[in-house]
Structure 1
């Protein structure tokens, strides 16, 4: 984004819609920190509290849904710490929907989970937020929710439906994208140290990667990698410090987390472009 300086993006408003605490940091942490630092208003809406998540910290295993079922409350604290690390002050939950768990599991059939929520009712709750903050840019998942988790798919459906129902017209809508070339590079680097990438042997084993042709926009948030890594560490129950995420940063260099990729699905693809013809600013072409 060139020589952009603090407050140069004042007046721009960006809304992110995510499924669980930690999704925002993994997908968009550098982007969020970058735009917030430049003066843009960045709002995060998280659709569930991630009650069904796996607990990676042994001393906190009692929080799991199979035991005391208090993980959601703890993940609220983790999210607040992560947002502090990224410099985000406006973050909220969408209603009181419960984590749906994976498709076909017992939690997925509970009446209070996000997956079972009425689409227009949930979208209506998001419309209320949209009418309040009037975002110029919306960021959410693609049509398969990135990797098929029901809450990710539902977050996509709710965000897109809300954008249709709202009186306020969002000028640009982006879906998070994970390009094959980046993950392939990471997998090779991890194989060199005798590790794998989430158990995958090849790029074809990963359902969440997309052909590089889907990438319309690349945000360079390298100056905010430290903030992103601090936010990832804040999500302690979900992201292992010795797991694939941090192994990638150690073996590819921290910049692997500073580059975040998007597919523009609504609005003008606008300058500035990089050498591969990709946008380098989510707000390019936005009329204030």
Structure 2
């Protein structure tokens, strides 16, 4: 069990296969490399995700087939990251929870679950909150982690399943605390604005004509994951686990493309593309906010993880 001067386990909650690596890969890999317990809870199998490349294009739109394939991708990514303890949220209840998809409402200002996903009755975002949170609270009590990590309230970029995963995690922690199992530290994935800007500028320099990816736009529009620098509370050094994280990204071949290391640019340690083909950065430092009520005092962080606020 964790205690003063002694790190404990980590439990991560993510919406779809690939989110664990995209949002928290360095944290998971660093925790696992330190020989500490790591548990990943994945809420859906990404049934409504887009598929990259001609070889696997037949999976797009075939929910069961894509779900089964993404399970194998996730297993490969977790093997790369060193995470052995994995649970699908619906395995805790026996009720199938599926990718909610994403559509836009309010003239494109708000992301919502796709109507067809809601109509199917299995969309994660449409499930009653406590039906999802109660079994997760039981798992929290069983694993007794020192740290839980998930998305911030906006879900990183507004995907309804990411937002639901945040809400479910928050409610589960509340229920667990009522039962006497309080988690001392809750982290929300973040990017400080300075690092996000520098990484985008670096990608615009590096990605030129003939590149397989397109450079990011020259603007200051960021998703909700990006916050003012003073809100960043914990940082993870990506560099010691960079190759591990890149291998995990490559495992998600239906979702991630053109993964490559970057060795000569201070603002980046790697790059990749998603289905839109835009160049995305692997930052040299993975950053996190502390959720309200967290009490990190006395917790010893693994090497490579450090509090900054």
| TM score, norm. by length of structure 2 | 0.78
CA distance in 2, matches of 1:180, 1:42: 28
Residue 280 of structure 2 is aligned to residue 263 of structure 1:
no
Residue 12 of structure 2 corresponds to which residue in structure 1? 16
Question: 1:108·1:115 contact (CA, 8 Å) conserved in 2?
Answer: no
Runs of 5+ consecutive residues of structure 1 not aligned to the other structure? 1-8, 274-278, 283-288
Q: Secondary structure at the match of 2:215?
A: coil
4+ runs deviating over 6 angstroms: 247-250
Question: 2:190·2:287 contact (CA, 8 Å) conserved in 1?
Answer: yes
The alpha carbon displacement at 1:135 in A equals 1.2
Residue 295 of structure 2 is aligned to residue 280 of structure 1:
no
> Residues 221 and 186 of structure 1: is their aligned pair in 2 closer, same or farther, counting only changes over 3 Å?
closer
Q: Which has the higher strand share?
A: 2
Residue 50 of structure 2 is aligned to residue 49 of structure 1:
no
Residue 57 of structure 2 is aligned to residue 31 of structure 1:
no
The alpha carbon displacement at 1:240 in A equals 1.1
Question: 1:272·1:281 contact (CA, 8 Å) conserved in 2?
Answer: no
2:132 to 122, 127, 133: 122
CA distance in 2, matches of 1:173, 1:207: 18
Question: 2:189·2:225 contact (CA, 8 Å) conserved in 1?
Answer: no
Q: Secondary structure at the match of 1:178?
A: strand
Residue 168 of structure 2 is aligned to residue 153 of structure 1:
no
The alpha carbon displacement at 1:90 in A equals 0.2
Alignment of 1:23-172 (within 5 A): 23-65=19-61, 67=62, 69-95=64-90, 96-102=96-102, 103=112, 105-109=114-118, 110-166=120-176, 167=179, 168-172=181-185
Q: Secondary structure at the match of 1:174?
A: strand
Residue 215 of structure 2 is aligned to residue 196 of structure 1:
yes
Residue 242 of structure 2 is aligned to residue 225 of structure 1:
yes
Tell me how many residue pairs correspond in the alignment.
264
> Residues 231 and 128 of structure 1: is their aligned pair in 2 closer, same or farther, counting only changes over 3 Å?
same
CA distance in 1, matches of 2:296, 2:64: 45
CA distance in 2, matches of 1:216, 1:107: 39
Q: Which has the higher helix share?
A: 1
The alpha carbon displacement at 1:222 in A equals 1.7
CA distance in 1, matches of 2:6, 2:185: 17
| TM score, norm. by length of structure 1 | 0.84
CA distance in 2, matches of 1:70, 1:152: 22
Question: 1:43·1:90 contact (CA, 8 Å) conserved in 2?
Answer: yes
The alpha carbon displacement at 1:139 in A equals 0.3
The alpha carbon displacement at 1:111 in A equals 1.1
Runs of 5+ consecutive residues of structure 2 not aligned to the other structure? 91-95, 103-111, 209-213, 271-281
